[in-house]
Amino acid sequence: MKSNDSPFFERLINNIWLLFVLGVLIYFISYIGWGMYEIGSVPDFPDQLKQETLK
Amino acid sequence: MSLHAPAEGWYSKKVASDEKWWVALAATVCLITFFWMVIWHVYGKQNPGHQTYKIKEAEFMQLSEAFNKKHQIGEENGIPVVAPPSNGDVFLTAQMWRWSSIPVLVKNEWYTFHLSSADVCHGFSVQPINMNFMVLPGYDYVLRFKPNAAGDYKMFCNEFCGIGHQTMIGKIIVVETQEEIQNLKLTQPKNP
């Protein structure tokens, strides 16, 4: 067991489960979350171009 | 990776100089490649435009058919050959297992391609110049395009799209000048 005297970052990085959760969470947010945001923010096809093409 | 934490006190130990050099080298490579992406985006020629629109499959097919009807100059194996105006829009639908038209383009003129699929995910691969893009149903992928060499280019589907996937080969014709379009030997459409 680690003593409480060790530096905060040593205790943090020694926690493999925390690193595991961060490893999954960070990539989930940056890849899947960002991708979902991108898909959700795609605009509709412009009406003006639609009318011009169908004219 | 070890499941056991290293011996207590490792955080306070001095890092060896060779390890520092490797970390610095890795960080430098990361920074160079990161900034190279940005530089390429600004100074690279003919980067994809990153413009996409949402559109229903049936609506896009309607636009694609209207475009073909407006600009058709002939046909090849039942596929309309179309000559869009310079700086104009080109609507191209991918459908199992064909492309909706054969565009005839003029060298060094800009065109705006609108790519979409009527059914499943397809790939737009222009060879031999090796341009590759995904074509998805429900989305219009906009691609600004300036052909810089005359010739016939093949359009392959490079996403497996079913039993006839390997037969899904289309064509883009690039001519030197606008006048050359009139001289192309094309079959006239049966139902213009």
In this model, does residue B192 exceed pLDDT 60?
Answer: no
Nearest to B173 by CA among B110, B115, B108, B103: B103
In this model, does residue B5 exceed pLDDT 80?
Answer: no
Complex ipTM: 0.75
Nearest to B156 by CA among B130, B174, B137, B121: B130
Q: Which residues contact A38 (CB under 8 A, 6 or more apart)?
A: none
The reply to whether residue B53 touches residue A43, judged by beta carbons under 8 angstroms, is: yes
Residue A36: predicted pLDDT = 92
The reply to whether residue B139 touches residue A42, judged by beta carbons under 8 angstroms, is: yes
Q: Which residues contact B62 (CB under 8 A, 6 or more apart)?
A: A54
Tell whether B7 lies on the interface with A, counting CB pairs under 8 A: no
Distance (Å, rounded) from C-alpha B141 to C-alpha B120? Answer: 15
Residue A15: predicted pLDDT = 86
Mean pLDDT of chain B: 90
pLDDT band at A23 (very low <50, low <70, confident <90, very high): very high
B107, B150 Cβ separation under 8 angstroms: yes
In this model, does residue A3 exceed pLDDT 60?
Answer: no
Nearest to B114 by CA among B41, B28, B53: B53
**For B73, phi and psi rounded to 5 degrees?**
-120, 0
Tell whether B13 lies on the interface with A, counting CB pairs under 8 A: no
Displacement of CA B59 from its chain's centroid (Å):
21
Residue B191: predicted pLDDT = 59
In this model, does residue B110 exceed pLDDT 80?
Answer: yes
In this model, does residue A41 exceed pLDDT 80?
Answer: yes
For B145-176, write each residue's pLDDT tens digit.
Answer: 889 999 999 999 999 999 999 999 999 999 99
Residue B11: predicted pLDDT = 84
Residue B103: predicted pLDDT = 95
Minimal Cβ distance to B91: which of A2, A6, A53:
A53
pLDDT band at B185 (very low <50, low <70, confident <90, very high): confident
pLDDT band at B97 (very low <50, low <70, confident <90, very high): very high
- Average pLDDT on B135-144 reads 94
The reply to whether residue A45 touches residue B54, judged by beta carbons under 8 angstroms, is: yes
In this model, does residue B112 exceed pLDDT 70?
Answer: yes
The reply to whether residue A6 touches residue B8, judged by beta carbons under 8 angstroms, is: yes
pLDDT band at A4 (very low <50, low <70, confident <90, very high): low
Chain B residues touching residue A10 (CB < 8 angstroms):
8-12
- Token pair for residue A18? 């925390």
Tell whether B136 lies on the interface with A, counting CB pairs under 8 A: no
For B30-88, write each residue's pLDDT tens digit.
Answer: 999 999 988 988 888 767 777 899 999 999 999 999 999 999 999 898 899 999 999 99
Nearest to B103 by CA among B113, B95, B94: B113
Tell whether B181 lies on the interface with A, counting CB pairs under 8 A: no
The Cα-based distances of B151 to B147, B157, B171 in angstroms read 10, 20, 10
pLDDT band at B183 (very low <50, low <70, confident <90, very high): confident
Instruction: Kindly report the number of other CB atoms within 10 A of residue A45's CB atom.
Output: 22
